Amino acid sequence: MIPRILVRLEVLLQHMEHSFPVLFGTKPPPSIVSLVASNSSVPISSNSVEPFSLKDLIGDGFLWAVPRNRRTIEKRLKRKFGHPDYVWKLIKPKTTLRTCNQCGHDYEVGLLCPHCYDKVRKETELIQEKIQKELGLDPVDKEVIVLYDGEKGEKPNEQWNGKRIVEMQRPRPMWFSKNLMQKTTQPAATTEEAKPNELG
Amino acid sequence: MNQAEVSKLMSQLRVSIPKKPRRLRNPDGPEGRLNKLRKTVSALVKHERIELNSARAHEARGYAERLISEAIRHGDCHKATMDMANFWMVEKQLVHKLFKVLAPRFVNCPVSYTRMYKAPRQYPGPVTEIRRAVLELRGNPYPPVKPDMTQNRNLIHNVLLDEAKKQYRYEKYAQIAAKLTAGESKAEAKSTESADGNQKEHTATVEEPVDTKEEK
């Protein structure tokens, strides 16, 4: 509010200044604006007003190039944060992480669980090493069965007929179920009727 | 209709093969690419489970499937198949394995002979990280890569089996109840009671076991 009044007052004073030469001849009296602005007792001579020149300011020096326009807010924001679809500079939350149902570690959707897979990989490498040691360079013509400590005597030798047994000299890991072997060792069912058991 | 069925002439694979072969980068060009794939397929047959670059695993998978499929279709007396096996198996003892172990193993296999998993990657890892994959033959002796979910009660076939079991039990109970009531009615008939009262008791006793099961 106050600045607007000040502007209007200034405009009014300028109008009055312009109207002086018309009223009192060609030479105007000292300007009222400068008198009001300076508010000093020293009288201002008409010779003191000189045209502004850059030379007075710079002297022997020189100027670097500087921005001539203000950057728009959009450009400034884009420089600061990037664009969400192209280059996003802030941290994005990752929504593809899940908790493994088996071990509770985090894994990425679509990939294997690192903890579970690490366990499996180590065991697999041990078994592979053992198998290669057993087989050597002979032609491989039999299925290989992996048995752990104390499992060979559990079933009669006919069960393993036509299969090559590789024994791991260590107890079976808890998580590696023995039931996986059932399919290859058990004879197929002879009954034709498919009825659920465990009644009562 | 003298034309042969095209689908019978070729091995039908259970995995999707990309239209164009992958240009796996190799300093020796296409020849080097094939050599690399030969090594990969041989390693797959030898070890039955390998971990390698995702692109090469996917490329080698198709060749391995095709090779096993041909071995099953033509057997080891077919010269072209044997030449192919000789080309793809870098170690020659694996040719025996292909025909004597893998072909019998997969002869009745209704699904693909190989499986491929995406291996876990380093977290957070570089953006340009090369993805790894686990490629394996089915029926291998190693611990399963993915946990066995067949015991999950919410699987559809387990739900259906449970329902079938339940229904079978209802039928059995109903039969037992019918037998019991028949015995009772005979006894009651002997003791000279009205037939109307008997019929009402019949229905009530048959329904009883069913109700009790539902409540459980």
ipTM of the complex: 0.70
Tens digits of residue pLDDT in B28-76: 999 999 999 999 999 999 999 999 999 999 999 999 999 999 999 999 9
The answer to whether residues B163 and B124 belong to one domain is no
State whether residue B168 sits within 8 Å of chain A by CB.
yes
Residue B116 lies in a domain: yes
Residue A189 is predicted with a pLDDT of: 67
CA B47 to chain centre: 20
Residue A125 lies in a domain: yes
Burial class (CB in 10 A: 0-12, 13-18, 19+), B205: middle
Q: Which of B137, B168, B187 is the last residue of a domain?
A: B137
The answer to whether residues B106 and B24 belong to one domain is yes
Question: What is the total count of domains within chain B?
Answer: 2
End-to-end alpha carbon distance in chain B:
63
State whether residue A91 sits within 8 Å of chain B by CB.
no
Residue B89 lies in a domain: yes
Tens digits of residue pLDDT in A41-60: 555 555 678 888 888 888 88
State whether residue B169 sits within 8 Å of chain A by CB.
yes
The answer to whether residues B127 and B184 belong to one domain is no
Question: What is the total count of domains within chain A?
Answer: 2
Q: Are A100 and A115 in contact (CB under 8 A)?
A: yes
Residue A60 lies in a domain: no
- Provide, as residue numbers in chain B, all residues whose Cβ is less than 8 Å from the Cβ of A175: 143
Q: Which of B110, B137, B164 is the last residue of a domain?
A: B137
* pLDDT over 70 percentage in chain B: 88
CATH number at residue B22: 3.90.1030.10
Tens digits of residue pLDDT in B11-28: 889 999 989 988 899 999
* pLDDT over 70 percentage in chain A: 74
CA distance B160 to chain A (A): 12
Domain that holds residue A134: 114-185
- In this complex, which of A102, A111, A127 lies closest to B142 when CB atoms are compared? A127
Q: Which of B85, B108, B137 is the last residue of a domain?
A: B137
Residue A196 lies in a domain: no
Residue B1 lies in a domain: no
Give the residue with greater pLDDT, B187 vs B178.
B178
Domain that holds residue B183: 156-215
Residue A107 lies in a domain: no
Residue B53 lies in a domain: yes
